[in-house]
Structure 1
Amino acid sequence: MASLTYSPLDVEEKEIRLLELLPGRWTDPIACELNTVSLCGDPCYDALSYVWGNPKDTLPITVDGKPFQATTTVRSALRRLRSYQDSRTLWVDAICINQEDREEKTQQVMLMRHIYSSAKSVQVYLGEGPILDAIPLEEQATWNQPPQIHWHRDLTVLLMSAEQAHWTVVLPEGGIKDQSRIDAFFARQKDPEYDPAKLTVLEALRHNQAGALSIMNMLSNGRCLKECLHSDYSSPAWVGALDALNDLVSLPWWTRVWVLQEAILCMEEVTAIYGEIRAPLGLMEDSGSMLPKHHKRGFCCKAFWDDLPPRQKDILNRFATQMYGLEGIRDLWFNVKEDQLKMLTIFLQRTRGRKTTDVRDKIYGLLGLIHHLPNTLGLRPDYGRTAVQVYTDIAMRIIEDTDDLSILASHEHKDLSSGLPTWVPNWTSTGSNKKPNFDYPIKAFTSQFRAGLSKRWTAKLVDGYALEVTGLEVDTVSQLAMPLCRTQTDLNERFAEFEQIAGLTRDPFSSYKGNIPLFDAFWRTMLDDVVYMIDRENIEERIIFIRANQSDGLSFQVARAVWKGDPDNMLFLSPAGKPLSTKDIAYIANRVKDNFWLTHEDRVFFKTKKGYIGFGPPETRIGDRVCVILGSSIPLVLRPARAPKFPSFLGGTISRDSPCFTLVGYSYIHGIMDGEAILKYYEEKDSISQAFARILGKRDSLRKIYLL
């Protein structure tokens, strides 16, 4: 039998193909027909959102009477969506777009914003879950239509006091639609005879899923988390519900880039399908994103949360993180009206943990979310360009738009063998292996410093790959500690190591650069000279930084004494001159510890040949250069690029004698964070030594360097 052939689409008419899913019983083969329509004619259809899965894992369906190899995910979704009696019109990208035609794929991807925003509904196929495997095939063969369990999203009004986080719930007039299921979940918790082991596997699974949806329903309606538990933490019904919740949030759909515009752009109903469960996606989103407001911002569930067993807390944290990952992007899309490039940059940073099959889609998959904003980028999906070209182009646009080099504060190390320039953010990376840094507020941190800020900075793309900047090599890394890992670190031992490297154990009263006490330089370095605060002005909490002051140095001394085990032998006084209580001392030590780990997880402490101390990325090596780049507010750790690592396509602009480096990452170096190195250079630039340095192009002169 001949394979499916696609007829061309009219780009000017915004033509797309729609899939007519023909009726059939549950076990019947899937049969469909394709029809070409114009979006200008407002066609009526439902759009499918799903995860492609393994492209090699396919099963046959029939399209226009011809065989088509659909991924198992697509086939399963179509089976769930099919009606026994009526045809259904769908848009499914894997079938409606000719995936072998690169130009058509480009044109259709450009229309996806229109496709999803015009759909009468979006059907989100999350996956099958464990239910189907628990139903015998013989029973499934009797189905005309598979079982469906519908949950609802109630229009509950939530009122919050600004002074103290407290929710007032105004219930809908008819009450909560799913209240009977919620009550049944509570009853199972309270029943001392309830034992899932005495149920069939199918009954136990359905109870667990009903419990998970009951928790979501409660939270989305503004109820407290503690109101969801009507027994103790070991209740089988409660534990089973959290297990089902964990299964749900572990599904790959929540981690993909494309699903953001698919779920957000639809102005109509968005329904999540999870096996036999159908529920508004907003019910799931609301419940998870509301959860932290109860135990972080308010006091209503703080004690309850603190007492939760670690595994249960982990599950609920993952749930909140996954749901807010979608809800947070939705809020940004709806409320923030920056220009296209600024919003694309924000979205790229917020979605670094999300995945795509094609790495170019890390950018292309977000374009639909910025289409309505001013100052058009003129960027269109082009699958004829390489990922290196796409990522490099966006990086240069960000540099030109932001008028600084903050983009170089990269959280991931890249080797030239990856093909991507090290100065270009790898948007497919979530950070280091030990700590996913994609959500770290790096811009808030770097904005506190002025190491290389200058009105005379320039950056130029050379040969489509290298970034030409002006920089000053300040020093070379000469001593290095091991990377920090919070779960494997004894702070007393590590700080003793840092004190030894810094020289404090040898002479605690010695001076540092600029004739300040070495200990002052040390404690400021241990805090990166900042302290963090939580800004709660808006519903979404955010971390902000302020520069440290002398009182923070006193707090550090208290914490250091605690880690050494010395506080029992010491007397600490408050600013009012009163002795600090044991509780106060413990609070100060924990606060300093949290501050330290926020900025230093998976970082390395080092010392340079000239005696500077600081922290850098975990890949820092002895011999790496500490550099200040004009336009970058923080110093960078760079590594000289050797001849064998030069990309073969670099043209004649850069010779093998040019000062070329790979970017290792950003750093904190005490004594050069506020422009001291650049200021010193300009003060000395008329001296004979600096004049000769510029003539000879020596490392301690301000010169053009190339980042590869």
Structure 2
Amino acid sequence: MSSTGPSFPVSFSDIDVECWGGIKEDKRCEFAQAGEEVRGLLPDSMIHRWALDKANLKRANPEDGASKLYRPILDPYEFRLLELKPGEHNDALQGSLHHCSLELVAIESENNPITWRTPDEERYTWKFALPVNNLTAPMQYTALSYSWGPPVFEGKISCDGHEKAITRSLETALRHFRKEDCSVVFWIDQICINQDDNGEKESQIPLMSSIYRHSLNTVIWLGEASPGSDLAIRLLEDINVLLQFNNSSISPEDFERWGLPQADSESWKALWSLLGRSWFSRLWIIQEVILSTSPWAMCGYDCISWSKLSTSCYHLVTCGISRWLQQTQAPIQDARTRTNDQGDLCQLASGLGEVKEQCGQGQSGPPLLGLLVKTRHAQCYDARDRIYGLLGVCYHGDAAAVRVSYAQEYTAASLFHDMALHYLQPKPGSPINNVLTCVDHESPDLPSWVPDWRLPRETESLGYSSFSRNIYHATGTRSPPVSERVQITNIEERSQLSIRGILVDKLVRTSDQFIEPDLTYVNSLSENRALLAAYSFVSSNLDLFSPVKEHGVFSSFWHTLVAGQDAGGMVRCPESYAEIFSLLLDETTGQSPSLPDQTYSLRQLRPKGKGRLEVASLESRTAGRSFQDVRAALRRVTRNRRLGITSKGYLGLFPRYCKNGDLLYLVEGCHVPFLLRPAGDIEGGHRLVGECYVHGIMDGEALKLESADKADIVLV
């Protein structure tokens, strides 16, 4: 790391933002340097009038609080910055805390080059904070985004004569950032916020968006360098250039033609390892990246701009290489049957890049509920932060509805309950569908209809996405109407939700849960355990299918195993999936046909050697791609669900918590059916078990039943 850095210019007109605020040509990240004050910048009359109001705050003399590290924060716009003192790499860390204000903001306008407003303005021209002990001397700083690691504080830093314990990961980062000949200024949550003061944390959370927007830049600390991490960063740099004009799928056989490393290159392994670092799984990184003007990622002393990193991941997703990486980098030996709990690591960075670009165009932030759905995998130590960590980037109307409190009596369950009620208020769209399709757990401290954001989702939602409205129309062919009646009937506890729906059927038989379902054409007889389990369940209950023979056993079987969706869950599954299932089912069971009504395509009926579709054909590019699509769809929708058969003979996919006797309902305002369970302790009450797919009623067929009358339902 270079020991020199940029010095403060005399005025902001001297700043070359592209060069001065970010990365120099040697690609080493530069940080805001503490030094000469910015002079000649502020309009004296305006700044002094504003400063006089601040003088009325009775601030303690810094020397009076010498016995404590943290002096109180008195103003809603006040926060602290850390000045990291110079030193060599192994020297003890030394720093000083400065109290600053974010209330005054410089922005440009057509009539006035610089005007001064408060932080409700969206456009920030210059990046600085104002020290409260000298409101005319702007102070620039770098925000740090990093992974805390385990809450074990084995590192330390001396601040203003007080020793503060910090995590080892932060201590390592600061040693990499420290310069030998000058101080650098950071905002770091672990040090700049008194983490032992819940009241202070509550007051600082609303400032997060301003803190990151005012920072000169943001450095993302991925951790120390490891073998191959430099290769991974160079590969991301190359991908950003090599794939920028590509719109087609790329298979490993095409890598050389595109100038990419061979499929067995260590660079791919190193890339997946880099993207799997703990920083990418943190919840707080979402708003840190989105709000930052110039974020850069560092691993050891290697550096890459966030823009290049996220764009490269976007290219990897769109061309299909990320799916190949997910399949080949999992820790199981056979690449054709392996599973990977990490998911698509490229998708996270790519998605963050898209949201950041959207916010950068001045658009309103996305709904909080949508962000909660997308970030359910993310980690934080306090479950309430699953919501608080998104307030800086979500739609302002949702943020305003959130009560920020770390009080012991205001639990995460209370917060999640409040947010569910907020979203169930009458508004455009289908709020009840969006809330109910997020329910994925049985949590005793929550009403059954409130999603529990403490736990990562264990199933892929069938009905949440906007695409699903093009696939399912259980309550009619058009988009479901907003529910006519969504009311809270237990006013005191707000635990009972009154809705309207139609009772369709009852669940009478269920299979075992699909834990890690997969599909393979290698050793099908022994390895296709999920397909064999599904076949065994259906074949042993053929007598229950008689009431709905018009749907066909085989057609119900394969449609249900992909929930009627294609590989991406964006459109209905093509009928071509039938021949893949027919081929693999016979190969797995050793029978032909394996199920009643089973169909065979013309390719399957051709003579051997004459273009017949066989298991070996799935190694080819065209047939192999169809197989991979079927496999992806099956794995996605059946994981942690059960097959079930209803009393009327319908086959479907149901929540893992389902039981015989659970009731199948169509809910007004929703386009997928739900499974409900009578609550014996409350008259007329039902508990929500979850969303489901039932072949034969997903296009409004159940509305034609004689018993299809709407009735009030009370969810508890």
Report how far residue 474 of structure 1 moved: 3.5
**Over residues 543-588 of structure 1, what are the superposed CA-to-partner deviations in whole Å (9 max), with x where a residue is unaligned?**
4123777x8768865665565556799995659x999932498637
Partner of residue 99 from structure 2, selected from 11, 16, 36: 36
Q: Secondary structure of 2:532's match?
A: helix
Partner of residue 705 from structure 2, selected from 655, 662, 680: 680
Report how far residue 458 of structure 1 moved: 1.7
What residue in structure 2 maps to residue 407 of structure 1? 434
What residue in structure 2 maps to residue 662 of structure 1? 687
Q: Is the 8 A contact 2:557 2:651 kept in 1?
A: no
What residue in structure 1 maps to residue 375 of structure 2? 351
Task: State the distance in 1 between where 2:167 and 2:504 align.
Answer: 55
Q: Secondary structure of 1:405's match?
A: helix
Report how far residue 356 of structure 1 moved: 1.3
What residue in structure 2 maps to residue 62 of structure 1? 158
User: Cα–Cα, structure 1 residues 2 and 56, in superposed 2: closer, same or farther, change >3 Å?
Assistant: farther
What residue in structure 2 maps to residue 398 of structure 1? 423
Task: State the distance in 1 between where 2:699 and 2:330 align.
Answer: 45
Q: Secondary structure of 1:29's match?
A: coil
Report how many residues are paired.
Answer: 573
Q: Is the 8 A contact 1:408 1:632 kept in 2?
A: no
Q: Secondary structure of 2:296's match?
A: strand
Report how far residue 87 of structure 1 moved: 1.0
What residue in structure 1 maps to residue 406 of structure 2? 383
Fraction of identical pairs, as percent: 24
Task: State the distance in 1 between where 2:531 and 2:206 align.
Answer: 56
**Over residues 64-84 of structure 1, what are the superposed CA-to-partner deviations in whole Å (9 max), with x where a residue is unaligned?**
111212222222222221111
**How do 1:304-319 residues align onto structure 2 when only pairs under 5 Å count?**
none
Task: State the distance in 2 between where 1:636 and 1:346 align.
Answer: 21
Report how far residue 278 of structure 1 moved: 3.2
Task: State the distance in 2 between where 1:78 and 1:590 align.
Answer: 46
What residue in structure 2 maps to residue 641 of structure 1? 679
Partner of residue 539 from structure 2, selected from 485, 496, 500: 500
Partner of residue 23 from structure 1, selected from 86, 102, 124: 86
Partner of residue 283 from structure 1, selected from 308, 313, 332: 308
Partner of residue 612 from structure 2, selected from 582, 592, 607: 582
User: Cα–Cα, structure 1 residues 445 and 497, in superposed 2: closer, same or farther, change >3 Å?
Assistant: farther
Task: State the distance in 2 between where 1:231 and 1:90 align.
Answer: 38
Partner of residue 628 from structure 1, selected from 666, 671, 679: 666
Tell me, yes or no, if structure 1 residue 467 matches structure 2 residue 505.
no
What residue in structure 2 maps to residue 526 of structure 1? 560
User: Cα–Cα, structure 1 residues 282 and 86, in superposed 2: closer, same or farther, change >3 Å?
Assistant: same
Q: Which residue type is aligned with residue 715 of structure 2?
A: L
Task: State the distance in 2 between where 1:222 and 1:312 align.
Answer: 30
Q: Secondary structure of 2:683's match?
A: coil
**Over residues 377-400 of structure 1, what are the superposed CA-to-partner deviations in whole Å (9 max), with x where a residue is unaligned?**
444633343212221222233333
Q: Which residue type is aligned with residue 96 of structure 1?
A: C
Q: Is the 8 A contact 2:223 2:300 kept in 1?
A: yes
Report how far residue 281 of structure 1 moved: 3.2
- Give structure 2 stretches of 5+ with no counterpart: 1-64, 105-127, 130-139, 244-253, 519-526
Task: State the distance in 2 between where 1:628 and 1:34 align.
Answer: 58
User: Cα–Cα, structure 1 residues 662 and 98, in superposed 2: closer, same or farther, change >3 Å?
Assistant: same
Report how far residue 94 of structure 1 moved: 1.5
Q: Is the 8 A contact 1:349 1:438 kept in 2?
A: no
**How do 1:149-164 residues align onto structure 2 when only pairs under 5 Å count?**
none
Q: Is the 8 A contact 1:47 1:92 kept in 2?
A: yes
Tell me, yes or no, if structure 1 residue 250 matches structure 2 residue 284.
no
What residue in structure 1 maps to residue 125 of structure 2? none
Task: State the distance in 2 between where 1:634 and 1:232 align.
Answer: 44
Report how far residue 339 of structure 1 moved: 8.2
**Over residues 304-335 of structure 1, what are the superposed CA-to-partner deviations in whole Å (9 max), with x where a residue is unaligned?**
x99999889899x9999334312312313423
Q: Is the 8 A contact 1:475 1:626 kept in 2?
A: yes
**Over residues 199-232 of structure 1, what are the superposed CA-to-partner deviations in whole Å (9 max), with x where a residue is unaligned?**
xxxxxx4xx3332232222112225853798986
Q: Is the 8 A contact 2:291 2:356 kept in 1?
A: no
Report how far residue 619 of structure 1 moved: 2.2
**Over residues 632-659 of structure 1, what are the superposed CA-to-partner deviations in whole Å (9 max), with x where a residue is unaligned?**
22221223335xxxxxxxxxxxxx4423
- Give structure 1 stretches of 5+ with no counterpart: 131-204, 534-541, 643-655, 686-701
Partner of residue 349 from structure 2, selected from 323, 326, 349: 326
User: Cα–Cα, structure 1 residues 416 and 556, in superposed 2: closer, same or farther, change >3 Å?
Assistant: closer
**Over residues 585-636 of structure 1, what are the superposed CA-to-partner deviations in whole Å (9 max), with x where a residue is unaligned?**
8637766555544433332111233433322022222232223322222221
Task: State the distance in 1 between where 2:712 and 2:535 align.
Answer: 39
What TM-score does the superposition give when structure 1 sets the normalisation length? 0.69
What residue in structure 2 maps to residue 211 of structure 1? 231
Task: State the distance in 2 between where 1:307 and 1:601 align.
Answer: 20
Task: State the distance in 1 between where 2:461 and 2:169 align.
Answer: 29
Task: State the distance in 2 between where 1:220 and 1:281 align.
Answer: 11
Report how far residue 340 of structure 1 moved: 5.8
User: Cα–Cα, structure 1 residues 256 and 517, in superposed 2: closer, same or farther, change >3 Å?
Assistant: closer
User: Cα–Cα, structure 1 residues 457 and 60, in superposed 2: closer, same or farther, change >3 Å?
Assistant: same
Task: State the distance in 2 between where 1:521 and 1:213 align.
Answer: 48
Q: Is the 8 A contact 1:225 1:291 kept in 2?
A: no
Task: State the distance in 2 between where 1:387 and 1:3 align.
Answer: 35
What residue in structure 2 maps to residue 613 of structure 1? 651
What residue in structure 2 maps to residue 516 of structure 1? 550
Q: Secondary structure of 2:196's match?
A: coil
What residue in structure 1 maps to residue 250 of structure 2? none
Q: Is the 8 A contact 1:291 1:320 kept in 2?
A: no
Q: Is the 8 A contact 1:340 1:376 kept in 2?
A: no
Task: State the distance in 1 between where 2:534 and 2:157 align.
Answer: 63
User: Cα–Cα, structure 1 residues 489 and 620, in superposed 2: closer, same or farther, change >3 Å?
Assistant: farther
Q: Secondary structure of 1:286's match?
A: helix
